[in-house]
Amino acid sequence: MSSKKRILSGMRPTGPLHLGNLHGALNNWVGMQDEYDCFFFIADWHALTSDYENPGAITGYVKEMMIDWLSAGLDPEKSTLFVQSLVPEHAELFLFLSMITPVPWLERNPTYKDQIVQIENKDLSTFGFLGYPVLQAADIIMYKANGVPVGVDQVPHVEITREIARRFNFLYGDVFPEPEAILTQTSKILGLDRRKMSKSYNNAIFLSDTPNEIEKKVSQMITDPQRMRRSDPGNPDVCNVFEFHKIYSDRKTWEAIDPQCRNAEIGCVECKKIMAKNLIQAMEPLHERRAHFKAKPERVKEIIAIGSEKARAVAGKTMAQVRAAIRIKD
């Protein structure tokens, strides 16, 4: 048994990953692989809670997501990488947890309250959507994870998980540790239009974009909105391209650009070209790994199968304890 603390996190396969996901989550996960016993999984059942009318795309997204993960540097030799639906024990634990979870806990879940009013084009008044955090709780406590690296939006779900774990232990005896949220710092990367980077806003740079696509997208980025003409002075403090420079260009470069921009000595076109070049260069190792795995779909399948088998072995042990605790089977 390894003495490392165990962490677990997951993503819903709802589309290709972009730079926001890379800086908001993936890079963080990659950096935790040596320090922790890591479980990372693709929550395809969770994707069904909102996409149940169009489930067809999910399988394709699962494979692409694993390729994105591997490209970003998640390593199947270090971490257990798996797919939720390949570990059906999650459904059984979800069922047991749903028996003991009071409905008001779910009804007052902030993400539930927000989405039920915000998302108008789908009928989300389903049992599964309300129960989303119960399935998430099953995902987490199945592996007795100590920590859950997530963005701030997911903290209420980890809180519900702790409450459910506590209630299970109270009713049936100590089986589960209470996991803690490990807050990942939110990505400063905005989309091309300065809104939050999101696939649905059509403003994202994807990990799968080619250098040409990246260049084209960068050329379309909104800069300092006050700067209309090349001769106008600009303000890097409010410019999203400048934020990208701070991530992808070296300090010397962006420290030089700062006064040039303010004195209209550099134009946005040129400034963007420099940034795009550095961004593309920074993405090179990722793009190389992506090409490698893209060319080996069988290897990706194998990685998913082996990881899910490893996860299943752990899940099987937990479920034996759970059934014994509930005295449903001996």
Query: Alpha helix (H) ranges present in the chain?
Result: 19-21, 27-32, 44-51, 58-72, 89-100, 103-107, 110-118, 127-130, 132-141, 155-172, 211-219, 240-248, 251-262, 268-294, 297-326
Contact partner at residue 266 from ligand TRP, ligand SF4, none, CB < 5 to 8 Å by partner kind:
ligand SF4
Q: Does 22 engage in binding with ligand TRP (CB under 6 A)?
A: no
Stretch touching ligand SF4 by CB under 6 A, among 93-101, 184-192, 261-269, 303-311: 261-269
Contact partner at residue 223 from ligand TRP, ligand SF4, none, CB < 5 to 8 Å by partner kind:
ligand SF4
Q: Which of residues 264-303 bind ligand SF4 (CB under 6 A)?
A: 266, 268, 271-272
DSSP string, 242-287: HHHHHHHS-HHHHHHHHHHHHTT-S-HHHHHHHHHHHHHHHHHHHH
Q: Does 223 engage in binding with ligand SF4 (CB under 6 A)?
A: yes
CA dist., res. 84 & res. 137, Å (int): 13
Strand, helix or coil for residue 154: helix
Q: Backbone phi, then psi, for 59, in 5-degree steps?
A: -60, -45
Least CB distance from residue 2 to ligand SF4, whole Å?
A: 47
Least CB distance from residue 140 to ligand SF4, whole Å?
A: 42
Please say which residue, 168 or 254, places its beta carbon nearer to ligand TRP.
168
Mask for 10-39, x = binds ligand SF4 (CB under 6 A): ------------------------------
* Amino acid code (one letter) for 85: S
Q: Which of residues 241-260 bind ligand SF4 (CB under 6 A)?
A: 241-242, 257
* Amino acid code (one letter) for 22: L
CA dist., res. 14 & res. 57, Å (int): 8
CA dist., res. 165 & res. 172, Å (int): 10
Least CB distance from residue 208 to ligand SF4, whole Å?
A: 25
Mask for 145-174, x = binds ligand TRP (CB under 6 A): ---x-x---x--x-----------------
Q: Does 9 engage in binding with ligand TRP (CB under 6 A)?
A: yes
DSSP string, 198-227: -GGGT---BTT--HHHHHHHHHT----TT-
**Partner residues linked to 39 by β-bridges:** 8, 80
Tell me the two tokens of residue 131. 């129960």
Least CB distance from residue 256 to ligand SF4, whole Å?
A: 11
Q: Which residues bind ligand SF4 (CB under 6 A)?
A: 223-224, 227, 234, 236, 239, 241-242, 257, 261, 266, 268, 271-272
Q: Which residues bind ligand TRP (CB under 6 A)?
A: 8-12, 43, 46, 136, 139-140, 148, 150, 154, 157
